[in-house]
Structure 1
Amino acid sequence: MFTRLLSSLPPPFLFTLLVFVAAAVVLFLVGRPSSAPPAPRSIPCLPWLPVLGSLPWLGGGLPPHLLFSQLARRYGSLFALYLGPHYTVVVNEHQHAREVLQQRGRDFAGRPSMFTTDLLTRGGKDIAFSDDSPLWKLHRRLVHNSFTLFGEGTSRLQDIVLSSVDSLCVELLSGGGRGFDPSPAVTRAITNVVCTLVFSATYRHGDAELQEVIRYNDGIVQTIAGGGLVDIYPWMKVFPNTSLRKLKDCINVRDRLLTRKLEEHKASLSDGDPRDLLDALLKGQADRSPGSEDEQITDDHVLMTAAEAFGAGVETTSTTLLWILAYLLHHPEVQGRVQEELDEQVGGGRAVSASDRGRLPYLDCVINEGMRIRPVSPVLIPHTAMTHSSIGGHSVSRGTRVLVNMWSIHHDPRHWDKPDLFNPGRFLDDQGQRVTPSCFLPFGAGPRVCVGESLARLELFLFLSSLLQRMSFRQPDGAPPPNLQGRLGVVLQPLPYKVVITPREGWEGGAK
């Protein structure tokens, strides 16, 4: 994100920036500008210049998670840099990450204000990007309670997921033994889960509204990463930016559709059980005691919660599932072992259910290993120190930005044996029981832990178990195995690959 910023600038702006930098360097020679906060001496810091910060030292063309891992070998697992004028600490070790996310989670629960995310969330009226505040805590409790009210822990969510699972299996098995890219079908299925969950709409393949949802969601995912430079230098918003223009267009489409759904739900809201997440949020909003305007959950908060369900719930889950399938093509012995477990514990006469999870430890470990080896968010959303605090005994000033490099944590050879090897068995002990190492943090931890973790785990379990119960995956004859390097945007996505799917003998269709 940072290494290619300068090369992407339009020539007129680049000239202006260079002139500005030259003037700033002259000022720097006279005295370091007071606008830059002094770095704590105890944390090693990359070199930096006024205006540009440490950006000139972030070259090499590597994506941030790999670049930070490389810099950690030189500066140590905890180091600092300047992203433009913003002093930023980078965490590459799980004990420091636990300290930031959990032990001192309240100290580091803040979020920086960034132009693209403010645009995406109407000024931080969502959960993930909103800064820490009493209203944010209230909003988060409302979302959590809405999941519970709607049916988290009951069969309602499972029924929604299994309906999409059945549709996906039918679509995949219609391939007729030909090689094809599974990504569009998987994305449609996960999108349908979220649509049903959020506003009770279940779509058939090719439905115009479903395609609209997929298009705007994909457009946001593909363009928001291109706004990295304006997040560092907000004044750059005055310059032409194709990515930002497309992002605004996609947000407008999203907001029109979700506003229409919200108004429909308001008009039909009843006293009975909520039909979906929008109903539950509206009921929770109405039940709140009246307070000042700054303490109220508004319609914008409800809309941005719904929007976040798509942004966070579709791309992350579908990407994780596609990564796991890619690794199964590389490791057919792992696929075979999962299928043996499914045959022994579930059989082919019925569909898998959430209650089977305790009897399928190896399948659960395959999911964990997929999330470890290819974390969809290799670098977590930036945190901000809300108060003067410390990390690993090193002083950290209020306002400091903190980046947690989950890639480095999940690939640390001090804690993971052969970390680049796909090995689900690392999550089993000598007795074959599941273990969860403290350095495994796929959903974060503490006050900012992912609010949709239980839903994501349910989806991944039901989708993967159902697919492997009913079908087998292999790569087309003569085709190379999937490329495992990935492509980084908002999430780390696998490059497109093809599969050949064959139905498994013994699957009788079971209960639908």
Structure 2
Amino acid sequence: MLGVLVALLVCLLMIHFLRQLWSHKSYPPGPLRLPIIGGTWRLGIKLYKDTVLKMSEQYGNILMAWLGPIPAVIISGYEAVIEGLINHSEDFDERPVTPFVKAAVNGHGIVFSNGHTWKQQRKFGVTTMRKLGLGKKGMELQIEEEAQQLVETFARAKGQPFDATMAISNSICNVICAVAFGHRFPVQDREFIKLMEAIEYLSKCIGSVSYLLYELFPWIMERLPGPHKKALAYLEDFLSFARKEIENHKKCAVHEPQDFIDFYLFQMKKSKNDRNSTYNEDNLAQCIVDLFIAGTETTALTLRWALLFMANHPDIQEKVHKEMEDVLGSSQIFHYQDGKKLPYTNAVIHEIQRFQYILLVGIPRQSSKDVNLCGFFIPKGAIIVPDLRSVLLDPKQWETPEEFNPNHFLDKDGNFVEREAFLPFGAGGRVCLGEQLARVEIFLFFANLLRAFTFQLPEGVKELNTDPIVGASVAPRPYKLCAVPRSSSS
């Protein structure tokens, strides 16, 4: 009797499995969906950067990998990503509200909010960045000052091997402080140190085993100690820090807004009688956290990779130095507009961002309705994962995608050329809010550092390791280099 029941159960499971396959026949192809775990068996414990590439080679540029019961569509290659993020921008403009995201953000801010809240907060963010002078002299002057602070920090090493990680992160974080709070912090400040610790820990936690377990089994993990609990505690500390700055701004009313908080408080006052307004202190505090987390680690990682590549490619570094000498002569400080006069330097900066994309994949989105994408059915609620790395390495778009080659951004006459497939900041309605800020920062920090120093390998080191540490972001392994002062800038 027991044998008959087992056989019947197996038959019912097989029928259910076959019906499921039939009902999903119009979905994109992908790894076999297993009970409970879906297609995560194919991803492994950690989603290493070559996993998605291998999957796209096997299943195509649009594939479905079930995350337990949730369909996740991975879009790879320039054409498919453009189709998804540009042509279906409004269809894929939501963020997935996963258990960790819900616990961490609760629908507030810009990066992980949706619907009316997201539209209103993002519109405010874009407008405010313009008002603050992004791309104009006001903001540029603050970044130039921070770049000079970093040059002075490097100079104190006196050409000896040193690790620039913390110095770079501190400078980039202080740029965000100037944007959000209107002032910078001394690097010895206790609050600033805690802020940096929070950013570093959160960037490492996202994508960790503890984080993934929380997403799969939140009802268990929220009762257990571990890195996920520490990350949520850091986020709460971060929000408290932001609220303290908000209170300080409220006490010191100004006639003309000077920073992000000033503009937001003004907008709250202006909209206090609007029932549909989402302008409140909870959203303001989360917007500040969003600015720091999205704007510090990404830009700092780009600069760390930049210096590593310059040390590993002295021939390319020498060409940058020569162009600076030929075009700008004895000028000690670079301005953002100088980038137009420095096509090779500009090409090198773009190639650094293309060759070493600093995220594992683009930040996931979610389908707000049923969509037909390139002949495949994408159900409402599906997670959309744009593989931006595949666009930056697409062999149909780049002559030598696997090589570090600044000529990707130069024409035959040596003029700088923008490339449509250059999408490190994403595309569509969810394109990175801080793209212009990041572009200004990366150019000014890179140009001023290269103007002041020649970056060399420590004695006995033939080449710095380019094998990355992969988590949610893609970081270089710890390294030391020598910032040797250049005689022309002394």
Check whether TM > 0.5.
yes
Matched, 1:168 2:153: no
- Paired with 1:25 and 1:309, the residues of 2 have a C-alpha distance of 52
Opposite residue 218 of structure 2, the aligned amino acid is: P
- Paired with 1:413 and 1:306, the residues of 2 have a C-alpha distance of 38
Matched, 1:483 2:465: yes
Matched, 1:43 2:25: no
Opposite residue 97 of structure 2, the aligned amino acid is: S
Distance change in 2, residues 1:42/1:56 (3 Å) = closer
Opposite residue 109 of structure 2, the aligned amino acid is: D
Gaps of 5+ in 1: 1-23
SS of structure 2 residue aligned to 1:314: helix
Distance change in 2, residues 1:373/1:158 (3 Å) = same
Matched, 1:282 2:262: no
User: Partner of 1:271 in structure 2?
Assistant: 255
Opposite residue 290 of structure 1, the aligned amino acid is: N
TM-fit CA distance, 1:348:
2.5
Matched, 1:29 2:14: yes
SS of structure 2 residue aligned to 1:398: coil
User: Partner of 1:120 in structure 2?
Assistant: 104
- 1:298-337 alpha-carbon deviations (Å, 9 max, x no partner): 1111111111111011100000011111111111111111
Contact 1:64–1:379 (CA under 8 A) maintained in structure 2: no
- Paired with 2:267 and 2:381, the residues of 1 have a C-alpha distance of 33
Q: Which moved more, 1:90-99 or 1:452-461?
A: 90-99
- Paired with 1:126 and 1:32, the residues of 2 have a C-alpha distance of 41
Opposite residue 236 of structure 1, the aligned amino acid is: I
Contact 1:40–1:395 (CA under 8 A) maintained in structure 2: no
- Paired with 2:182 and 2:20, the residues of 1 have a C-alpha distance of 50
TM-fit CA distance, 1:45:
2.2
Distance change in 2, residues 1:114/1:241 (3 Å) = farther
Contact 2:159–2:485 (CA under 8 A) maintained in structure 1: no
- Paired with 2:21 and 2:267, the residues of 1 have a C-alpha distance of 43
SS of structure 1 residue aligned to 2:143: helix
- Paired with 1:93 and 1:477, the residues of 2 have a C-alpha distance of 41
User: Partner of 1:83 in structure 2?
Assistant: 67
TM-fit CA distance, 1:100:
1.3
SS of structure 1 residue aligned to 2:425: coil
SS of structure 1 residue aligned to 2:107: coil
- Paired with 2:131 and 2:269, the residues of 1 have a C-alpha distance of 14
SS of structure 2 residue aligned to 1:86: coil
TM-fit CA distance, 1:40:
4.7
TM-fit CA distance, 1:85:
0.9
Q: CA RMSD in A?
A: 2.2
TM-fit CA distance, 1:239:
4.5
- Paired with 2:243 and 2:162, the residues of 1 have a C-alpha distance of 36
- Paired with 2:306 and 2:23, the residues of 1 have a C-alpha distance of 44
- Paired with 2:340 and 2:251, the residues of 1 have a C-alpha distance of 42
- 1:212-249 alpha-carbon deviations (Å, 9 max, x no partner): 21111112112232312322343333452411111022
Contact 1:224–1:243 (CA under 8 A) maintained in structure 2: no
- 1:143-202 alpha-carbon deviations (Å, 9 max, x no partner): 111112222232111111111111111110111221111111111111111112211232
TM-fit CA distance, 1:33:
10
User: Partner of 2:40 in structure 1?
Assistant: 55
SS of structure 1 residue aligned to 2:487: coil
Gaps of 5+ in 2: 1-8
Distance change in 2, residues 1:58/1:296 (3 Å) = closer
TM-fit CA distance, 1:504:
0.8
- Paired with 1:306 and 1:35, the residues of 2 have a C-alpha distance of 44
Alignment of 1:436-447 (within 5 A): 436-447=418-429
SS of structure 2 residue aligned to 1:214: helix
Match of 1:252 among 236, 243, 255: 236
Opposite residue 97 of structure 1, the aligned amino acid is: V
- 1:400-443 alpha-carbon deviations (Å, 9 max, x no partner): 11111112221222322221211111111112222223222111
- Paired with 2:63 and 2:298, the residues of 1 have a C-alpha distance of 28
Opposite residue 259 of structure 2, the aligned amino acid is: D
Distance change in 2, residues 1:389/1:473 (3 Å) = same
SS of structure 1 residue aligned to 2:93: coil
Given the two structures, how large is their TM-score scaled by the length of structure 1? 0.89
User: Partner of 2:55 in structure 1?
Assistant: 71
SS of structure 1 residue aligned to 2:206: helix
Opposite residue 436 of structure 1, the aligned amino acid is: E
- Paired with 1:165 and 1:444, the residues of 2 have a C-alpha distance of 26
Matched, 1:405 2:390: no
Given the two structures, how large is their TM-score scaled by the length of structure 2? 0.93
User: Partner of 1:154 in structure 2?
Assistant: 136
TM-fit CA distance, 1:117:
2.2
- Paired with 2:388 and 2:49, the residues of 1 have a C-alpha distance of 8
Matched, 1:95 2:95: no
User: Partner of 1:208 in structure 2?
Assistant: 190
Distance change in 2, residues 1:363/1:49 (3 Å) = same
Distance change in 2, residues 1:261/1:506 (3 Å) = same
Matched, 1:145 2:127: yes
- Paired with 1:267 and 1:38, the residues of 2 have a C-alpha distance of 60
User: Partner of 1:17 in structure 2?
Assistant: none
Matched, 1:503 2:485: yes
Opposite residue 247 of structure 1, the aligned amino acid is: A
Contact 2:49–2:470 (CA under 8 A) maintained in structure 1: no
Opposite residue 494 of structure 1, the aligned amino acid is: P
Opposite residue 363 of structure 2, the aligned amino acid is: I
Contact 1:94–1:409 (CA under 8 A) maintained in structure 2: yes
Matched, 1:306 2:288: yes
User: Partner of 2:363 in structure 1?
Assistant: 381
- Paired with 1:104 and 1:77, the residues of 2 have a C-alpha distance of 16
SS of structure 1 residue aligned to 2:264: helix
- Paired with 2:19 and 2:273, the residues of 1 have a C-alpha distance of 44
- Paired with 1:27 and 1:499, the residues of 2 have a C-alpha distance of 63
Matched, 1:419 2:410: no
TM-fit CA distance, 1:34:
9.2
- 1:258-291 alpha-carbon deviations (Å, 9 max, x no partner): 111011111112222x221111222223223733
Contact 1:382–1:401 (CA under 8 A) maintained in structure 2: yes
Contact 1:28–1:50 (CA under 8 A) maintained in structure 2: no
SS of structure 2 residue aligned to 1:431: coil
- Paired with 1:487 and 1:37, the residues of 2 have a C-alpha distance of 40
TM-fit CA distance, 1:90:
0.9
